[in-house]
Structure 1
Amino acid sequence: MVVARRADHLKATAIMNESPKLFEFEGTMMTQIFTNNWQRVKNFKARPDDILIATYPKAGTTWVSEIVDQLYFGGMEGRNPNIPIYERVPFLEICAEGFQPGTEAVENLPTSPRLIKTHLPVQLVPKSFWEQNCRVLYVARNAKDNLLSYYHFDRMNKLHPEAGPWDKYIQKFNSGQLVFGSWYDHVQGWWNRRESYPRMLYLFYEDMKEDLTREISHLCSFLGLSPSEKEKERVTQKTKFEAMKNNSMTNYSTVEIMDQSISPFMRKGTVGDWKNHFTVAQNEAFDEEYNKRMEKSTLAFRMEI
């Protein structure tokens, strides 16, 4: 019932927002569904035990959300197994007509700690998260795979502006003309913030693909959790890519504004797929821009593993 109701709401929203417009908001490119509720987002009251899961779009948000939810609540007796991930880990800044704003969804969570998702750049995160000394998880993915995944996401997501052709999309990515702005600013802004905020764990998508069990142990240590080896293995198996892709509670198949006949929400989940899409010329041009933008950063990514 809840799934069907949410799907109907999202479908209604899509009809009313067939061509979302991108505009600059507080220095970052946004669309209205992420600014409609801004005063409530800005003034959101975090609790000390809240856990904020932050990423640039398509960097492993759903993956880490499911892992953390499973670690805390996956073994909880009597829990309804048919609650989609977007209800278990609400999207803080989303606000589209016809369904519950993210801020309200967080307030209505029955579980504690509250797990909260955001794509906001670090400077736009509500101050209360820092003031309450909340734990923060940031997940970063290498630029080329992140760009590719975002491109396919924008092709199928009716709440985002149209992706357009691939070559032009590369240019939009490099110039920050996508929803939530510049990847370069996003990953580096959060990377720099961790230097003054010790309760942040900065994770890399590539590390998770390389050894998921190791990274789950890393997460447990940061969160102060001590699951048994059997429990960690359960979470590892449940959150592998194929398991999540085939799980209707994590693959967004219940959300009608995403046309998965164009591209699945969970597409390949690999590292290095960008090599199948960039031409030699596109790759050389991208590398030139990338090296220029990342030259002074201590942040380093692996483009393949």
Structure 2
Amino acid sequence: TKDTFFPCSYTRVELTDFEGVSLVHFITDNWENIKNFKARPDDILIATHPKAGTTWVSYILDLLYFGNTSPERQTSLPIYLRVPFLEANFPETPSGEDLANKLATTPRIIKTHLPVQLVPKSFWEQNCRVVYVARNAKDSAVSYYHFDRMNMISAEPGDWNTYLQRFMDGKTMFGPWYNHVCGYWEKKQTYPNLHYMFFEDMVEDTGRQLEHLCSFLGLSTSTEERKRITKGVHFDAMKQNKMTNYSAVPVMDFKISPFMRKGKVGDWKNHFTVAQNEQFDKHYKEKMKSTTLQFRTQI
């Protein structure tokens, strides 16, 4: 059965420019409510540019806080109800901020793809903990392309070459990757409650990243517990898990591509031509010249 949480009638939408960021009208229509969202001091915000391991980190945090206390959550509630997507606002469904307001858990774990300058001010005012996950640009572009192909309420992606150009121009949903990853990196320098993680590090050693995360959150979890979580959040396990793989969402066409596709580092090599790679590297160098932020495109 398809999940009633998502609408069954959908059409591709155009992206609109909102304060220099490409968004769909569903989000901007509800902007007042998103902007005025009242964060609480113990809220945890997961922030990412799309396709950087958002669901992965959402599931890790959910297990860390509620894996033992309410195991029925893990089998009955899809991840998007446990960790609401703050700015989501799609037809015939509760909005993300509405779901977040109704969350009964403490802490509330909320996710966003908004660039740092559009995050509701209350998160910073309340000194909330923010977990940011960044993924290298090349794998991000590939993953986002496949996602936009199968997600029927995102803008028409076109072919790979067209899409890559759009990605470089910052004309994909939630704006330029470069500004997004750098914006949160800069914020971290003045806002100590921000934990900056790299997708590549998580793939390389999930257990170690989990340890860093627990330390940031002030959680004392046993080694056994961490091992259990690491096993549960393995990509293949999550891909099979109906509560985390988005398979019940009718706006996503799994015949085109699964929501959780590969979860690997370096898959960009199967997509970029030599010419595309050279052009991308040149553009990247220009865009990233004034930041100390470094990424790995293979491990």
Task: Give the TM-score taking structure 1 as reference length.
Answer: 0.96
Quick one: which amino acid aligns to residue 5 of structure 1?
T
Q: Which residue of 2 aligns with 1:64?
A: 57
- In structure 2, how many angstroms separate the alpha carbons of the residues matched to 1:78 and 1:140? 29
1:124 to 118, 132, 147: 118
2:87 to 79, 93, 101: 93
Q: How does 1:125-140 map to 2 (within 5 A)?
A: 125-140=119-134
- In structure 2, how many angstroms separate the alpha carbons of the residues matched to 1:227 and 1:78? 17
Q: Which residue of 2 aligns with 1:11?
A: 8
Q: Which residue of 2 aligns with 1:288?
A: 282
Q: How does 1:182-201 map to 2 (within 5 A)?
A: 182-201=176-195
- In structure 2, how many angstroms separate the alpha carbons of the residues matched to 1:84 and 1:221? 27
2:212 to 195, 199, 218: 218
Aligned length in residues: 298
The Cα of 1:4 is off from its aligned counterpart by 2.8
1:49 to 42, 47, 58: 42
The Cα of 1:82 is off from its aligned counterpart by 1.4
Structure 1 residues 77 and 104: alpha-carbon distance in aligned structure 2, compared to 1, 3 A threshold: closer
Q: Which residue of 2 aligns with 1:180?
A: 174
The Cα of 1:108 is off from its aligned counterpart by 1.0
Alignment of 1:157 with 2:138, yes or no, is no
- In structure 1, how many angstroms separate the alpha carbons of the residues matched to 2:218 and 2:12? 44
The Cα of 1:33 is off from its aligned counterpart by 1.9
- In structure 2, how many angstroms separate the alpha carbons of the residues matched to 1:274 and 1:229? 34
Cα displacement string for residues 273-300 of structure 1 (whole angstroms, at most 9, x for unaligned residues): 0001101111111101011111111000
The Cα of 1:128 is off from its aligned counterpart by 0.3
Q: Which residue of 2 aligns with 1:168?
A: 162
Cα displacement string for residues 7-62 of structure 1 (whole angstroms, at most 9, x for unaligned residues): xx3223x2xxx120111002211111221211010000000000000000001100
- In structure 1, how many angstroms separate the alpha carbons of the residues matched to 2:38 and 2:102? 13
List gaps (5 residues or longer) in structure 1.
none
Secondary structure of the 1:5 match is: coil
Secondary structure of the 2:110 match is: strand
Cα displacement string for residues 241-292 of structure 1 (whole angstroms, at most 9, x for unaligned residues): 0000000000000101000110000000000000011011111111010111
Runs of 4+ more than 4 Å apart:
none
Q: Which residue of 2 aligns with 1:265?
A: 259
Cα displacement string for residues 64-113 of structure 1 (whole angstroms, at most 9, x for unaligned residues): 00000000001114633211000000000011120001111001112110
Secondary structure of the 1:35 match is: helix
Aligned 8 A contact 2:34 2:86 in 1: yes
Structure 1 residues 92 and 77: alpha-carbon distance in aligned structure 2, compared to 1, 3 A threshold: closer
Task: Give the TM-score taking structure 2 as reference length.
Answer: 0.98
Aligned 8 A contact 2:3 2:250 in 1: no
Q: How does 1:71-90 map to 2 (within 5 A)?
A: 71-77=64-70, 79-80=72-73, 81-90=75-84
Secondary structure of the 2:272 match is: coil
The Cα of 1:162 is off from its aligned counterpart by 1.1
2:98 to 80, 101, 104: 104
Cα displacement string for residues 120-178 of structure 1 (whole angstroms, at most 9, x for unaligned residues): 00000000000000000000000000000000000000110011010011100000111
Measured on the aligned residues, the alpha-carbon RMSD in Å equals 1.1
- In structure 2, how many angstroms separate the alpha carbons of the residues matched to 1:274 and 1:66? 25
Q: Report % sequence identity.
A: 57
- In structure 1, how many angstroms separate the alpha carbons of the residues matched to 2:50 and 2:71? 32
Secondary structure of the 2:40 match is: coil
Q: Which residue of 1 aligns with 2:197?
A: 203
The Cα of 1:201 is off from its aligned counterpart by 0.2
List gaps (5 residues or longer) in structure 2.
none
Cα displacement string for residues 226-249 of structure 1 (whole angstroms, at most 9, x for unaligned residues): 111111111100001000000000
